[in-house]
């Protein structure tokens, strides 16, 4: 009996140890070679994994994500740009542009994102702002708009500068913004491209995409990768920011100051796998859904339509533990006119009874409000006799005044 009990205890301890190890393996955080790292959910912006994510470091050519964002905001893709300086006068990577070359904004963005051309970055800055320092002001203003409070840009390319710095978290926010631009996504997923110089048809420049995670022929290929930008200087070491999507769930990850370029690509896949394996995206509300209504009076109720998708990130296995509701702000709409799809009121989304996010709600139907003292309202309320009487009194007064004037001055 004692022998059986001993065997049972050993078996129990073995099973317990196995179970514990399995749980730990699922939640073990990634071990990566980068000094700074942030993994965020693209929909909510929530940080899912971080390693010195707020430490200020140099971004190198991942800077060019912000350069592209500004260019796409300020320019049309077919705008023509005349290059202001030879590539030989610019430090770092270049695609070979010479002063006087005429290319389009689209071609400059392709050279910027695919080949990381510093000559393309400078050409865009000159075209948009006249010089690099003025363009940097636009970059810094946009960074603050996106909530990146620890970033300071000094140039559009990422060349070393002690004051040109960011954080892994801020860098992830920049790519999160770029994901919303269809032109950025199209350009960043172009495998290769041949640039034809407009004023010199004999000159062409072939460029190739250096984001190997989207290249099916690369040993670094990752099937869920959707875009990315890497960089390097001797001061910053290797940097990388990328996005991946699996089953509709989009993640953004960034690395700063990584020592091993080869390991960088593998580490990025490890970080993405950690996010996909441990977190789920719950869709609370879909843009265009009716989520509430506003009662104007007993005869009129306005449907309220949500203006954007509202999502929530949860650990795997907790998807069914989420409850949500929308509370309307205290606002009087009884005397307001509005058209269908106008934002008319704000709602606060609560998740599990905790405040989560504020969102604009649109009118599901139009409404034209008329004041009770308006002419139409008076007419509709059978006040026509009053109006006629008032008009007659005014006319009689005018007629009497005319006779008085004529009697006094008629002889003259």
Active site residue ranges: 61, 64, 116
Distance CA 305, CA 388 (A): 45
Plot region of 353 (φ>0 → left; ψ -120 to 50 → alpha; else → beta):
left
- What is the DSSP code string of 2-46? HHHHHHHHHHHHHHHHHHHHHHHHHHPPP--SEEEEEEEETTT--
List Cβ neighbours of 246 (8 Å cut-off, separation of 6 or more).
224, 276
Name the DSSP letter for residue 286.
Answer: -
Instruction: Give the separation between CA 174 and CA 171, rounded to whole angstroms.
Output: 5
Distance CA 65, CA 181 (A): 12
Q: How far apart are CA 271 and CA 348, in angstroms?
A: 33
- Count CB atoms within 10 A of the CB of residue 167: 24
Give strand ranges (E) for 42-107.
47-51, 80-82, 102-104
Q: How far apart are CA 232 and CA 93, in angstroms?
A: 10
In degrees, to the nearest 5, what angle opens at C-alpha 35 toward C-alphas 33 and 167? 135
Distance CA 227, CA 190 (A): 10
Torsion of CA 61, 66, 70, 76, to 10 degrees: 60
Exposed/middle/buried for residue 169 (C-beta within 10 Å: 0-12, 13-18, 19+): buried
Annotated binding-site residue? 229: yes
Beta carbons of 110 and 207 less than 8 angstroms apart: yes
Residue stretches of the annotated binding site: 229
User: Which parts are annotated binding residues for substrate?
Assistant: 229
């Amino acid at each position: 009996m004692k022998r059986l009990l001993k065997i049972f205890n050993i078996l129990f301890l073995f099973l317990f140890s196995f179970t514990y190890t399995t749980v730990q393996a699922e939640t073990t955080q990634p071990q990566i070679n980068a000094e700074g790292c942030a993994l965020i959910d693209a929909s909510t912006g929530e940080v899912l994994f971080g390693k010195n994510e707020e430490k200020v470091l140099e971004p190198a050519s991942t800077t060019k994500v912000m350069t592209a964002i500004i260019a796409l905001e300020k320019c049309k893709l077919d705008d023509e740009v005349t290059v202001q300086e030879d590539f030989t006068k610019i430090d770092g990577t270049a695609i070979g542009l010479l002063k006087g070359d005429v290319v389009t904004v689209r071609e400059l963005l392709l050279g910027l994102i695919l080949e990381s051309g510093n000559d393309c970055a400078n050409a865009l800055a000159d075209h948009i702002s006249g010089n690099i320092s003025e363009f940097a002001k636009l970059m810094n203003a946009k960074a603050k708009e996106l909530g990146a409070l620890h970033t300071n840009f000094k140039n559009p390319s990422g060349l070393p500068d002690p004051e040109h710095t960011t954080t892994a978290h801020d860098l992830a926010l920049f790519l999160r913004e770029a994901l919303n631009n269809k032109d950025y996504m199209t350009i960043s997923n172009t495998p290769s491209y041949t640039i034809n110089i407009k004023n010199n048809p004999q000159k062409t420049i072939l460029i190739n995409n250096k984001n190997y995670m989207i290249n099916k022929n690369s040993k670094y290929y990752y099937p869920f990768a959707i875009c990315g930008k890497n960089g390097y200087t001797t001061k910053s070491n290797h940097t990388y920011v990328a996005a991946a999507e699996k089953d509709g769930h989009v993640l953004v990850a960034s690395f700063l100051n990584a020592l091993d370029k080869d390991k960088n690509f593998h580490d990025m896949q490890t970080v993405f796998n950690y996010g996909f394996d441990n977190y789920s995206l719950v869709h609370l509300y879909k843009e265009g859904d009716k989520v509430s209504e506003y009662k104007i009076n007993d005869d009129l109720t306005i449907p309220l339509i949500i203006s954007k998708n509202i999502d929530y990130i949860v650990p795997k296995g907790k998807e069914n533990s989420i409850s949500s509701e929308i509370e309307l702000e205290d606002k009087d709409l009884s005397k307001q006119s509005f058209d269908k799809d106008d934002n008319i009121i704000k709602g606060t989304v609560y998740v599990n009874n905790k405040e989560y996010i504020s969102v604009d709600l649109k009118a599901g139907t139009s409404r034209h409000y008329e004041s009770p003292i308006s002419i139409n309202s008076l007419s509709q309320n059978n006040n026509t006799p009053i109006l006629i009487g008032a008009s007659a009194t005014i006319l009689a007064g005018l007629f009497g005044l005319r006779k008085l004037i004529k009697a006094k001055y008629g002889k003259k």
